[in-house]
Structure 1
Amino acid sequence: MSSAETASPASNDSADQRRAAAPRPVVVHIPRRFTKTEWGGTETVIYHLVAELNKIGYDSVIYTSDLLATPGADKVNGVRVRRFRGLYPRWGLSRAAKTQLDYRGGNYFSLSLFFALLFTRHLQAIHLHTGGFMGAMGRLVAKVRRVPYVISIHGGSLALPAEQMQKLLAPLKGSFNWGKVLEVLFPIKNVYRDATAILCLSEQERLLNAEKYPRSRVLSFPNGVDSERFAAADGAAFRAKYGIAVDAPVLLCVGSFYAQKNQQRLVEAFRLLHDSGHSRAQLVLIGVCYDRAYFDGLRAQVREYGLSDSVLFLQDLPYQSLDLLNAYAAADIFVFPSLYETFGIVVLEAWSAQTPVVCGRIGGIVDYGRDDDNLCFADVTSAVDIAAKTAALLADPAYAARIAAGGRKTVADYSWQAITRRLAALYDAGRR
């Protein structure tokens, strides 16, 4: 036996040991905020992307603000999170305005986040889930460290209806933006233009961004869903816990409580159903309270209609809550009256639980939703139309089962594993 052959096993062992000892490439995800208690669709997406990336050899971590959370290191369902202190660079913001910005759309600045990112070891890529100053910090670090960065558009700013944009900007009225000084070092306007890729959740958003940034790589990049988790839920357990009869029709809506989600129109539609032969029906509303005045108004509306015994509010459920999972399985119909959605991940969750869906022809839902095939489109500005589409499904179980089956078939194309592998390939290509 030659000396080379004799040395081969030891050499192989040594190579394996070196590979095992090599540090895992780090990908830092930067959302505007990431909390346990104010969980929404964006948190769901980032959580699954990070968790799946960690399974395939990356060391993914979330760097974010301390908005609605405590600063410092944390773990959320096993995913590492670091939260950094900062501020809104504006003079004259009231406490109420700051609270509104914390929940939706504030342009936060955190120098400590910037330096933590700048000195992160083994950094391979940065994935932005926000623009503004936090996005600009990610861009600058990517330039200095010579790593790729991509940006996912969760809020759909270019496709967002003007009325919704005005509501987002309303808290800024009467304040002075001294953050313009910071833009000398952190130019917000360049965040999208210089990105390795802009990832859009809808074809409408992709086309708008491709037009605005003609030299950028703009891709349609859908969200996913953990179908098995929702398919295994226990609807009977939910009904038993909340005293809902096994044969009572259940309508479910999952969405944060603020005007864009349009639950008030759904309550109007539910009253029409209740008064037209579906008096045993139950409406379950689940979500995080983003707007206290809106939420209080919604509860007052339910009382005014005499529906308090027929409407169940479940507020601020954790994403891992069994109640959230089991609600999907308990529902006969998932009704989603939102006025605008960039993607609409809750539709995928309902499909995974084999629950038929009624929703609006809006945002990213039009890319994968097919009327009278995998869901039923309704005019979500009309309580009458929402009630009519819902009543049609309640009246015809075979029709409802066909719609549910169409959704279940469609959702098979939206696994987190497939989406994450595509994302990893995008990171790697950006380094070449």
Structure 2
Amino acid sequence: MRIAIFSDTYAPEINGVARTLKRYTDYLEKRGIEYRLFVPNVSTPVPTVPQVQRLSSIPFLLYPDCRLALPNPHIKHTLEQFKPTLIHIATPINIGLYGLHYGKKNGIPMVASYHTNFDDYLEYYHLSLLNKLLWKYMHWFHRSFDKVFVPSKSTKEKLLQNQIHDNIELWGRGVNHQMYTPNKRSSEVVKAKYQIKEKNLILYVGRIAPEKDIHIVLETFYSLPEHIRKDAHLIIVGDGPLFDTLSEQHQEQITWTGFMEGEQLAEVYASSDVFLFPSPTETFGNVVLEALSSGLPVIGANAGGVQHLVKEGKTGFLCEPKKVNQFARQTSILLENSDLRSAFSYSARAYAKTISWDEIFDQLLESFKDVLYKKKRISA
């Protein structure tokens, strides 16, 4: 199997898709499976990897810090030498269009993975009028694939309802249990580092952007009963277009760390008391799984991929999107009841440990083999 992968995002970019694809290529290397990856170049220096071809790029209109790869003649030369047996397209624009064209022209089996609820993003950026056009394009783009992979059941249902494809399969996500673990809890160290005096730590990790409902995080914190809020501190980890404005406007009992990763992030996860994540636009919710693996109860939105990760009343609570009163009430319940928090924490860690990256990628590979086998039978 030789896989050509096309994506408009990849490490070291910081988002769920880029991180998942890095895990994916690491797995392929570990299994000795040949691949070529076509992605945008980045401003920060990165090691040259023979399997990864970085292309000239331009800023994406909605996300200027994300870039769109620009196809060039070298791609065709690379592909002709590589002779892929399968094409995998992870983003439906720019470089993904090139991969689609090449696969169709050369009769190569193709799969796509759907990672982003673009229709939800249009609403947040006041572009809802483009919704019908978006789904029309998505239908056209995906119709040539042998199979489409999605991260969650709700995403699958959405694509089926919009008749994007009739062969849609789940490709979930895993978590590094050794990295994200309750054993790294050191609340006093974290509090001392950020000069936090309050007893309880509420954590949000994610992009500081409209589609994450970051304003709901802030409103929830301000809506906590006074006797609870005076002993609580909100830590917001992440960067994005709203960071500068919001971090200047909201400072009392709130710490804005900016971007964070690795051991530093794992320590903050494990040292917090509850994880607040109201985003309704997730196709999966990688940070939610990291929080659960860290033994952190989650108060999340009952929408998108998050609803499938949080076990109501066992590992956390699910609230209706944008209902600040619900988020505030459930956060208050967990902060007031340490025994309930401990029970949720134990269940959260136990659930997260059942999810393995290797198992998820093993299943993906078997599905690829199935695509190739069926294609071979049809052409025989």
The answer to whether the superposition gives a TM-score over 0.5 is yes
Question: Any residues of structure 2 matched to 1:26-425 within 5 Å, and which?
Answer: 26-36=2-12, 38-66=13-41, 68-69=42-43, 74=48, 81-87=52-58, 100-103=62-65, 109-112=70-73, 114-115=75-76, 118-157=79-118, 160=120, 163-164=123-124, 166-167=126-127, 190-213=140-163, 216-231=166-181, 234-236=184-186, 237-244=189-196, 248-273=199-224, 275-289=226-240, 291=241, 294-303=242-251, 307=252, 310-317=253-260, 319=261, 321-425=262-366
Deviation at 1:262, TM superposition (A): 1.8
Partners of 1:72 and 1:277 in 2: CA distance? 45
TM-score (norm 2): 0.84
| Distance verdict in 2 for CA 1:252–1:196, change over 3 Å | same
CA 1:380/1:429 → structure 2, altered by over 3 Å: closer, same or farther?
closer
> Taking structure 1 as reference, are residues 330 and 231 closer, same or farther at Cα in structure 2, changes over 3 Å only?
same
In 1: Cα distance, 2:166 partner to 2:157 partner: 12
**Comparing 124-133 with 353-362, which one deviates more in the overlay?**
124-133
Gaps of 5+ in 2: 131-136, 374-380
Looking at structure 2, the residues matched to 382 and 211 of structure 1 have their Cα atoms a distance apart, in angstroms, of: 26
Structure 1 position 417, deviation (Å): 0.5
How many percent of aligned residue pairs carry the same amino acid? 21
Q: For 1:126, what is the secondary structure of its paired residue?
A: strand
Change (3 A) 1:364 1:430: same
User: For the pair shown, which has the larger CA radius of gyration, 1 or 2?
Assistant: 1
Structure 1's 119 and 344: CA in aligned 2 closer, same or farther, altered over 3 A? Answer: same
User: Aligned equivalents of 1:116 and 1:103: distance in 2?
Assistant: 29
Helix, strand or coil at the partner of 2:94: helix
Cα pair 1:72 1:84 within 8 Å, conserved: no
How many residues get paired?
365
Counterparts of 2:61 and 2:165, CA distance in 1: 37
What residue is the counterpart of 1:3 in the other structure? none
For 1:141 and 1:190, the matched residues in 2 are separated by 16
Residues 201 and 223, structure 1, Cα contact 8 Å, conserved in 2: yes
One-letter identity of the residue aligned with 1:410: Y
- Measure how far apart 1:61 and its partner are: 4.5
Contact conserved, 2:159 with 2:165, CA < 8 A, in 1? no
Deviation at 1:123, TM superposition (A): 2.4
Structure 1 residue runs of 5 or longer lacking an equivalent are 1-24, 89-97, 171-186
Contact persistence 2:91–2:114 (CA under 8 A): yes
Separation of aligned partners in 1, 2:5 and 2:129: 25
The CA RMSD over aligned residues, in Å, is 3.0
Q: Over residues 330-359 of structure 1, what are the superposed CA-to-partner deviations in whole Å (9 max), with x where a residue is unaligned?
A: 111011121321111111101100111001
Give 1:162 shift: 5.6
* CA contact 1:136–1:188 (8 Å) conserved in 2: no
| Cα distance in 1 for residues equivalent to 2:292 and 2:46 | 37
Rounded to whole Å, the distance in 2 between the matches of 1:281 and 1:405 is 22
